Structure 1
């Protein structure tokens, strides 16, 4: 089964150790359900790092990336619940990517993901999509323990919408970062797949000048409608 739409929000967060219990309770009991029930949203999953910084990653699947910049969504960001306000005030790291999904070769839900992030040359966008679609993702998916993969590009106009609405989402992104999610049954499988395919050498033809950021995570909780 593919993703639940062509848009995805990825958030990367961290809090201090003393705040983690409340942070996790808030995420599992309020935040995921609140977001999943928004118009256009369908499924959300959250992960904890095995080898990554920051410690927590969450994905939110929606019909399109435009759902991440609607007036109702921006209004919600600017008017959080009291619990949300209290938890978010204690974030020590917060980053969001508003992805336009360009390649979707997912299959069900795995227990682990590798998140690979990099900034390509925009002029090589078509070639990158072709490589991901026909070569990179099919090859890693065939590896033992792998279940699927997807890739998307951060839509800068959508990413900046909350800034115009004076929400807490910052800093302003200046380059269109890409994210590839490799999904598998366990962490060793996704880690090996990321190391195999997403090297600086293999990404260089697409204008990637610095080594990609690779993080591995295990599933904590998810919900859908």
Structure 2
């Protein structure tokens, strides 16, 4: 199960010349800073398992509640980006970031690979998607499956960290995450036809990512 009732889900690519700085910054400053915010519980970064998954990176921050993501402590960090943050994010490409409520979360724990699905659907489809997520969590070698819905207003709040960036796309409306011991266990989950029948408006953006790094709760001083 996810470690909280809300999450920040971020997909991004990075330029070849920005890759080394991205890794150094993300490992040694940024994830520690984010997980140090009161109410943030865990940060995990994943990278694409192959070239069919785009963009290359997926980062998930799990938080106590949606109020944490809309609160002053997080806003203070977004509006006071470090010099390293400003420099590292210049290499970002194809970024999509959603502040989301966790509607359903099932499973026994975190897995080594993550399937992400981004899509639009009618608001009344929550119960149908929740049932699909609950079923997926019982599949062989699947360790968890989760349904999230993005808060569009919260996700699109302007901040100093966004200033001067042209890599940021619209946040996804709906998100399904499934995690497992291996990518093969995730491959048969949530076929497009099943999601369309459940209420998805179009085929989802699908990606499969392997876990690179986990950061648990830290003390952080700006």
Number of residue equivalences: 211
C-alpha contact 2:101 2:149 (8 A) present in aligned 1: yes
| CA 1:143–1:124: 2 relative to 1, 3 Å | closer
1:139 aligns with 2:138: no
Which structure is higher in helix share?
Answer: 1
C-alpha contact 1:16 1:92 (8 A) present in aligned 2: yes
* Structure 2 counterparts to residues 17-166 of structure 1, below 5 A: 17-51=16-50, 52-129=53-130, 131=131, 136-161=132-157, 163=158, 165=159
Q: 1:206, CA displacement in angstroms?
A: 3.9
* Structure 2 counterparts to residues 172-183 of structure 1, below 5 A: 172-173=170-171, 177-183=173-179
Counterpart CA distance in 2 for 1:80 and 1:177 is 26
TM-score, normalised with respect to structure 2: 0.87
> Which deviations, in whole Å up to 9, do the C-alpha atoms of 1:97-148 show, x marking residues without a partner?
111000010322211010111111113334433x3xxxx2333233222111
1:217 aligns with 2:213: no
Q: 1:58, CA displacement in angstroms?
A: 0.3
C-alpha contact 1:43 1:223 (8 A) present in aligned 2: yes
State the Cα RMSD in Å: 1.8
Structure 1 stretches lacking a partner, 5+ long: none
Q: 1:19, CA displacement in angstroms?
A: 1.6
Structure 2 stretches lacking a partner, 5+ long: 218-222
Structure 1 stretches of 4+ moved >6 Å: none
Counterpart CA distance in 1 for 2:121 and 2:101 is 15
TM-score, normalised with respect to structure 1: 0.86
Counterpart CA distance in 1 for 2:30 and 2:49 is 22
C-alpha contact 2:96 2:170 (8 A) present in aligned 1: no
C-alpha contact 2:8 2:60 (8 A) present in aligned 1: yes
